[in-house]
């Protein structure tokens, strides 16, 4: 039933958008090519989806991306054509009551030309995001000030990546570039904030040797994200699912990453220390709530400087900010910035993700507590990024007050 509704919606948009092309060229072969391409695009997506069992892997991802490119382009056309139809309707009503001989005008070609021209923007943007944007890694630098930061950690530099989603990768050279870019930042420590795979531990087999090259003087610390538990797979048994999670945990160790499972570590420097607290996934709504902040922070002193690793930023809003212990900085991921948006530093920051998450990308501050929501290293479902590029966060900690 859902496929019938989807196909009906797609065809409705398709037929309406075709009116713009038809106003410019009425040749039967042009219309034939238009609808053949549409059927191939939607047919390939349905086939790949059924073949994949509903999982998002390379083939289904590209099929979905192509559907999205055409659909967004046609929606732009529909908006223009529908707007023109509304104008034509009211003009027709006006003339119908004032002039019985009035004949409704045909579609104006220049409106169709504008609609088709503007439709190329989302179409090209989505294709760019699929073939270039998904590996267009960006290093985003932040400096955060804390009055109670231990003096030995003044100038301490943190590297953060999140949401690798290794099951989506299709280009080893590009991913290696991103890993090398992270290492080149020369940070004191590196934190990974969850979602190493899409679903299965085996997705890391071709990538763990590469990610084991991630190094930092004070180590690499990691946590689990919602996708790491294998909750989105129909396993043959509970034991098989548990074995998958055990295999993924072992992968972290094999790469030299210290996986924090509702526990904490200390990093010491010149006789002073900061606490690194890592929780399992705790997500708002229907997402897994395995994270236990009280357990993870047990025996951490109230006056210790604390950095919390928590995959889903909903945790910060719903639990962390109100916790009795003061968590100075929380590092999260999860949202991907929805892999689509517009960011002009200092002027504009928008993504559909903002309607789901209060904290969806970048640094936020409330009551002298900070959270950084990393936009993600990899991608999921849509095999691309448009305007929200894959991110490596570099955060420098400074002691004192922020400059005015």
Give the CA radius of gyration of the chain: 25
213 band by pLDDT with thresholds 50, 70 and 90 = very high
pLDDT at 344 over 80: yes
Average pLDDT, the chain: 90
pLDDT at 15 over 60: yes
pLDDT digits (tens, 9 = 90+) for 150-176: 999 999 999 999 999 999 999 999 999
385 band by pLDDT with thresholds 50, 70 and 90 = very high
Which of 68-82, 134-148, 330-344 is predicted least confidently?
Answer: 68-82
CATH superfamily of 137-399: Metallo-dependent phosphatases (3.60.21.10)
Write the Ramachandran bin of 347: left for phi over 0, alpha for psi from -120 to 50, otherwise beta: alpha
pLDDT at 51 over 90: no
pLDDT of residue 181: 98
pLDDT digits (tens, 9 = 90+) for 265-304: 999 999 999 999 999 999 998 999 999 999 999 999 999 9
pLDDT of residue 134: 96
pLDDT digits (tens, 9 = 90+) for 95-142: 666 655 555 555 567 777 888 888 999 999 999 999 999 999 999 999
CB neighbours of 232 closer than 8 A, spacing ≥ 6? Answer: 55, 198, 199
pLDDT digits (tens, 9 = 90+) for 242-256: 999 999 999 999 999
Cα–Cα distance, 87 to 241 (Å, whole number): 58
3 band by pLDDT with thresholds 50, 70 and 90 = low
- The domains of the chain are located at 2-131, 137-399
Going by their DSSP bridges, the two strands 369-373 and 156-161 should be labelled as unpaired
pLDDT at 360 over 60: yes
402 band by pLDDT with thresholds 50, 70 and 90 = confident
Instruction: For residue 36, give the 3-state DSSP assignment.
Output: helix
């Amino acid at each position: 039933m859902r496929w019938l509704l989807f196909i009906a919606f797609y065809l409705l948009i398709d037929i309406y958008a075709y009116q713009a092309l038809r106003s410019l060229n009425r040749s039967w072969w042009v219309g034939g090519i238009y609808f053949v391409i549409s059927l191939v695009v939607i047919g390939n997506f349905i086939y790949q989806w059924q073949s994949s069992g509903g999982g998002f892997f390379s083939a289904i991802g590209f099929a979905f991306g192509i559907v999205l490119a055409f659909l967004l382009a046609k929606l732009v056309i529909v908006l223009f054509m529908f707007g023109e139809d509304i104008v034509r309707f009211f003009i027709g009503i006006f003339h119908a009551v004032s002039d019985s001989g009035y004949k409704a005008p045909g579609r104006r070609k220049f409106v169709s030309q504008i609609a088709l021209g503007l439709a190329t923007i989302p179409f090209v943007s989505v294709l760019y995001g699929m073939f270039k944007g998904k590996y267009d890694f960006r290093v985003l630098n932040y400096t955060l000030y804390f009055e109670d930061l231990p003096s030995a950690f003044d100038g301490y530099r943190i590297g953060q990546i999140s949401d690798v989603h290794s099951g989506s990768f299709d280009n080893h050279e590009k991913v290696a570039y991103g890993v090398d870019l992270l290492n080149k930042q020369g940070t004191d420590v590196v934190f990974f904030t969850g979602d190493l795979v899409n679903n299965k531990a085996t997705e890391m087999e071709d990538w763990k040797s590469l990610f084991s090259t991630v190094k930092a003087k004070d180590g690499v610390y990691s946590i689990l994200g919602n996708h790491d538990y294998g909750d989105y797979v129909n396993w043959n048994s509970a034991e098989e699912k548990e074995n998958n999670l055990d295999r993924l945990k072992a992968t972290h160790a094999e790469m030299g990453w210290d996986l924090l499972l509702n526990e904490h570590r200390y990093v010491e420097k010149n006789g002073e220390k900061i606490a690194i607290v890592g929780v399992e996934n705790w997500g708002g709504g229907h997402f897994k709530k395995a994270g236990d902040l009280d357990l993870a922070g047990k025996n951490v002193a109230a006056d210790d400087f604390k950095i919390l690793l928590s995959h889903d930023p909903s945790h910060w809003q719903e639990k962390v900010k109100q916790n009795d212990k003061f968590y100075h900085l929380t590092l999260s991921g999860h949202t991907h910035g929805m892999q689509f948006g517009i960011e002009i530093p200092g002027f504009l920051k928008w993504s559909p993700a903002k309607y789901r998450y209060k904290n969806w990308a970048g640094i936020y501050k409330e009551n002298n507590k900070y959270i950084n929501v990393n936009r993600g290293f990899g991608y999921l479902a849509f095999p691309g990024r448009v305007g929200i590029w894959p991110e490596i966060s570099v955060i420098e900690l400074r002691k004192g007050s922020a400059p005015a």
